[in-house]
Amino acid sequence: MSSSPPEGSLSGYTHDFDAGAVADALRRVAARARESGLGLALGTCFVEPQDNRRYNQIRFYTPDGAYLGFHSKTLLCGTPTEPPEGEINHFDVSPLRVFDYMGIPAGGLICNDLWANPEATPMPDVHLSQQLARMGARVVFHAVNGGRDGSAWSDLAWQYHESNLRMRARAGRVWIVTVDNCHPTHLPVPRLRG
């Protein structure tokens, strides 16, 4: 059995998190998952001790508690202005990886990594799901903080996200497991600015 929470579920979806508190919470969650025999694809923002950099990431753990590594959000959100504003100014990016999860090649993507929303992606869409498929991934865990506010525009964005999920899964011949925290729909996604 495994669990895949949405983007920023441990830390909150913010660059302004308490790194010490998140590290402590991570130790507790990882220990509890190991005790329960539960694998994790855990969405969190985290400061990596190896390089002291801040990442929006999915951390992978096997049911026996072995830490496999992390995927960091690659297509960081930002405004279309120059220079862009948003999370692009607050998080670092690491190379794309595939993890051996109990004999299954698995990758991770975070929210915009998959659909490259044209209003929030100040860099080119490099089709990360297809890259993971070419690297051998058979399943992609996709952590999302989609947010919706009930407006016609957010409904259109929802349709864009859903169609991208289906088309990119089909194009890469890969399973995509998405977990989104967008309900209830009246709570909009927080904007990472400044």
181: pLDDT confidence band, cut at 50, 70 and 90?
confident
Are residues 116 and 152 in contact, defined by beta-carbon separation less than 8 angstroms? no
Note the pTM of the prediction, 2 decimals.
0.90
- Measured from the Cβ of residue 110, the count of other Cβ atoms closer than 10 Å reads 28
> How far apart are the C-alpha atoms of 148 and 183, rounded to whole Å?
8
- What are the residue ranges spanned by the domains of the chain? 2-180
2-180 in CATH: which number?
3.60.110.10
- Asked if residue 5 has pLDDT above 90, the reply is no
**Which residues pair with residue 104 across a beta bridge?**
101
What percent of the chain is modeled with pLDDT above 90? 79
- Measured from the Cβ of residue 50, the count of other Cβ atoms closer than 10 Å reads 5
- Measured from the Cβ of residue 177, the count of other Cβ atoms closer than 10 Å reads 14
- Asked if residue 188 has pLDDT above 60, the reply is no
Q: Among 26-40, 56-70, 97-111, 142-156, whose mean pLDDT is lowest?
A: 142-156
DSSP letter assigned to residue 136? T
Q: Which two tokens stand for residue 123?
A: 């860099």
Contacts of 101 (CB under 8 A, 6+ apart): 2, 39, 60, 62, 68, 139
- Asked if residue 3 has pLDDT above 80, the reply is no
> How far apart are the C-alpha atoms of 166 and 162, rounded to whole Å?
6
Mean pLDDT across 126-155: 90
Q: Is 87 left (phi over 0), alpha (psi -120 to 50) or beta?
A: alpha
* Distances from the Cα of 192 to the Cα of 9, 13, 88, 130, 180, angstroms: 16, 8, 9, 27, 18
What order do you get walking across the sheet with 99-101 strand by strand? 99-101, 104-110, 139-144, 175-180
Q: Considering Cα of 17, then 68, then 75, then 3, what sign does the dihedral take?
A: negative
